[in-house]
Structure 1
Amino acid sequence: MTDTIVLYRPVGPAELDLLRATDWKRFPPRLPDQPIFYPVVQEEYARKIARDWNVPSSGSGYVTRFHVRADHLARYDEQLAGGTQHTEYWIPAEKLDEFNDNIVGPIEVIAEFHKDR
């Protein structure tokens, strides 16, 4: 059995559609102005981003949960993003395919937020 770490990723509707197109197995490549992919460690932090950032910018936000092989994630350090309860990993965009190859199981949507709800 492979040891895994649970991570979260807040996404907007466009990224959600791209995830769905991979059958919930891979995150899409970063755009040219997005040099890093940043999955987050705390579910509540992911919820805050989805609710407070994704909803105002795109009308809805979603929280995804997924498992990554622990030995792969050990290559990266946790980064503080404003406080001890706001930590994330910074995966260089050019390493995202390798990161995706180390996701174990499906990426699942565990929460959603909408402007009109």
Structure 2
Amino acid sequence: MTETLTLWRPTGPAELELVRASGWTAWPPRLPEQPIFYPVLNEEYAIKIARDWNVPASGVGYVTRFEINLEFSRRYPVQQAGGRDIIELWVPAEELEEFNRHIVGQISVVHEFR
């Protein structure tokens, strides 16, 4: 059995629709102004972003959860982006396709805020 790391991703409706179109198995390519894909390692942090940023920006915010192969995930050092609990992986946009190939199982929606 493959060891995995649980990650969360706060997202808005447009990105979530692209995830749905992938069969819940991949994150969409980043836009030119998005050089980094930021999944987070803390569910509470993902909730805060979805609720406080995504809802005002688009009327709805989602928190997704997914598993990534643990050994593969180690190539991306954990980044502390603020407080003690604000921790993320920084995946360069050009590596996202390979990152997606190491997702174990499906991406699921675990919270929705309006």
Normalised TM-score (structure 1): 0.96
Q: Secondary structure at the match of 1:25?
A: coil
Per-residue Cα deviation, 1:67-108 (whole angstroms, up to 9, x for no partner) = 000010000110011111010000000000010000000000
| Amino acid aligned to 1:99 | F
Q: Distance in 2 between matches of 1:94 and 1:67?
A: 20
Alpha-carbon deviation of 1:59? Answer: 0.6
Q: Distance in 2 between matches of 1:108 and 1:28?
A: 15
Instruction: Kindly indicate which of the two structures has a greater share of residues assigned to strand.
Output: 1
**Within 5 Å, which residues of 2 pair with 1:1-117?**
1-114=1-114
Q: Secondary structure at the match of 1:83?
A: coil
Q: Distance in 2 between matches of 1:111 and 1:18?
A: 17
Q: Distance in 1 between matches of 2:53 and 2:27?
A: 19
Q: Distance in 1 between matches of 2:16 and 2:91?
A: 19
Which 5+ residue runs of structure 2 have no aligned equivalent? none
| Amino acid aligned to 1:81 | A
Q: Distance in 1 between matches of 2:73 and 2:84?
A: 19
Per-residue Cα deviation, 1:12-42 (whole angstroms, up to 9, x for no partner) = 0000100100010000000000000000000
Q: Distance in 2 between matches of 1:39 and 1:59?
A: 21
Q: Secondary structure at the match of 1:82?
A: coil
Q: Which runs of 4+ in 1 moved over 4 A?
A: none
